[in-house]
Structure 1
């Protein structure tokens, strides 16, 4: 019973993060933060699953490494966009400019 409650909680929080990710259309920073929130929820779900079945936690370290690389890449794209356009609004981007 407790397992189902915890799984439902993770599922609810994950879909709340997906809703924020799909509904944020104004700022690139909000989109990146919601993506990091989804990665954090997936990390907690993976950690909970691996500790529940007494597996080794080496894959958690690999997952954290890839999530840090993803966050760094998103932050570097954000800095590049702010330097190029002056802000992080999606409406101010000219998609046809090379």
Structure 2
């Protein structure tokens, strides 16, 4: 039952990522929500099958790096454009 709830959490995070794509901060929060839920799913699955847990450490490391890079991009966007609204940013300006 817990595994099903975490998988539903990943789906809800994916849905939020698809429908709240106008603001960078909301997108970053939804991605982190999916990463945390996927980490929970992996914890349950790896402990259930008695598998090696080193992959979870690598996954968590990549999740932290993704969050740090996203936050850096968000800060640079806020400094350059004054907000995190994607629809105002033109590709030609970059």
Select the structure that is richer in helix.
2
Matching residue of 1:74: 70
Q: Does 1:89 align with 2:88?
A: no
Looking at structure 2, the residues matched to 50 and 10 of structure 1 have their Cα atoms a distance apart, in angstroms, of: 14
In the TM superposition, residue 74 of structure 1 has moved relative to its aligned partner by 0.5
Taking structure 2 as the reference length, the TM-score comes to: 0.91
- Count of residues paired in the alignment: 94
Structure with greater Cα Rg: 1
**Unaligned segments of structure 1, at least 5 residues:** none
The answer on whether the counterparts of 2:6 and 2:37 sit within 8 Å (CA) in structure 1 is yes
TM-score normalised per structure 1 = 0.88
Aligned to 1:15, what secondary structure does the other structure show? helix
Rounded Cα–Cα distance in structure 1 between residues aligned with 2:37 and 2:11: 10
